[in-house]
Copies of this chain bind each other. A is one copy, B any other.
């Protein structure tokens, strides 16, 4: 077990009351009693109709490595009441998840409120100790994965989506979790290099405004030459070449050369010389129309003349839709006027505090944005920053357990359950059915009566064409059952 995995969710990363309860169970000789907890959420997030379930992989790693070190136990001895029997700490020292079984919905499944997503069975004291860590690993992962899916639905299937929220996440690990689970939720790319390293997610990114503003004049460009892709091995003076193109672009567009920022041109040139096949600058450090777009076209045309293919531009402020339309028009003009077909396939990246709502609005308005980068609203889930999964005891020693609360919503449904997804004749799921584990499973073509949650108490009859088990045994007696731990 690599140390880093234990470091992520060590067994002390939990609420103190798990230990005080574990001690009381142990003291009463109840710690080995077979118990079953269920993990579920009470309301679909974001006021929507579904959630994605995520975080299972991390839960499996956590269960597999769940073990207390001497140091952990010594710390617990220092915080639990002095009257705690020393033999309890010996018991903790020997604990692991070899008696634990986890049934779970697969990673990335579409799920609904109040359906038991995970069932954790095992010795009472152990499964109690797991509560906070499992909730912590599932809650945010599922929330951000669902949020990503909503962005994907708002964006439509065509557009590429880039996650870029690391700097606004809840610390390093919040950022990594966001990158990982937004990818499962439907994002194509991440800016987070560590997420690429650990999880193989494609990474993307080119330059920030600071790069552009760090240049003041063309004298800072070095080297000042570039070799053409094929043919002549002699380096070409790229600065002169670009200056020529800049004049022609200004003439074509009727732009004022006096408003063009030399520092920005220097920045673009310097980047293009470093990465002639990957030229995609941010063009709004000063003014898109008066400077950034003209500088881009000049450098990109020079690159094309040397046989390279520039990639596109990034817009990071203002009205992205309007600007993208203007930019695309200029690209088409250049393509036609200079007969440079590479300008027809340039891409436009838009990044400017995009929310699910602005993504949906963007989809309705005329625009030419090919890739959307999303940060803050994606990783912090502004619309609803927590999912609220809970972990409730449903059975002890084979007997159903229930909590009755002053808030009726907080009461639990007792007993160990089976969960089935019912499909219609076209193979479309239409109902998730939770019934007691001891009840017989639904049968294809056979009508059954069920009580829809959240409606009044009158039953409805449904006839599934097919019924599948929604959950799988993924961890049995200390072993991961399915080969999910590849990273």
Contact = CB atoms under 8 A, between A and B. Distances in A.
Given A23-B274, A136-B175, A401-B213, A16 B207 contact: no
Contact of A19 (B21, B193, B209): B193
A137 interface: yes
Contacts of A27: 223, 270, 273-274
Contact of A404 (B13, B140, B271, B287): B287
A16 B191 contact: yes
A24 B271 contact: yes
A164 B75 contact: no
A19 B401 CA distance: 55
A3 interface: yes
Given A27-B274, A192-B15, A275-B24, A139 B124 contact: no
A128 B267 CA distance: 15
B205 A20 contact: yes
A447 interface: no
Counting chain A residues whose Cβ lies within 8 A of the other chain, the interface size class is 35 or more
Contacts of A329: none
A172 B137 contact: yes
Interface stretch (A103-111, A333-341, A380-388, A416-424): A380-388
Contact of A399 (B28, B216, B401, B406): B216
A284 interface: yes
Contacts of A173: 8, 170-174
Interface in A387-418: 387-389, 391-393, 396, 399, 401-407, 410
Which of A7, A20, A84, A405 has the most chain B CB atoms inside 10 A of its CB? A20
B406 A28 contact: no
Nearest to A393: B210
B21 A388 contact: no
Interface string A186-206: 000001111011000001111
Contacts of A196: 16, 75, 79
A221 B25 CA distance: 10
Which of A79, A136, A288 has the most chain B CB atoms inside 10 A of its CB? A136
Given A21-B207, A169-B140, A275 B81 contact: yes
Nearest to A318: B406
Interface stretch (A29-37, A148-156, A435-443): A29-37
A221 B28 contact: yes
A166 interface: yes
A170 B166 contact: no
B221 A24 contact: no
A20 B136 CA distance: 35
A286 B405 CA distance: 6
Contact of A386 (B132, B216, B380, B389): B380
Nearest to A7: B4
Interface in A325-377: 376
Given A14-B193, A376-B386, A170 B168 contact: no
A303 B135 CA distance: 35
Contact of A13 (B8, B166, B402): B166
Interface in A116-172: 124, 128, 131-133, 135-137, 139-141, 144, 164, 166-172
Given A194-B10, A211-B128, A214-B396, A15 B166 contact: yes
A193 B23 contact: no
A388 B165 CA distance: 11
A304 interface: no
Contacts of A318: 406-407
B83 A275 contact: yes
B37 A210 contact: yes
7 contacts: A15-B166, A17-B207, A19-B193, A75-B197, A132-B167, A140-B169, A216-B396
Interface of A: 3-4, 7-10, 12-21, 23-25, 27-30, 35, 37, 58, 72, 75-76, 79, 81, 83-84, 124, 128, 131-133, 135-137, 139-141, 144, 164, 166-178, 191-194, 196-197, 203-214, 216, 220-223, 270-271, 273-278, 284-288, 317-318, 376, 379-382, 385-389, 391-393, 396, 399, 401-407, 410
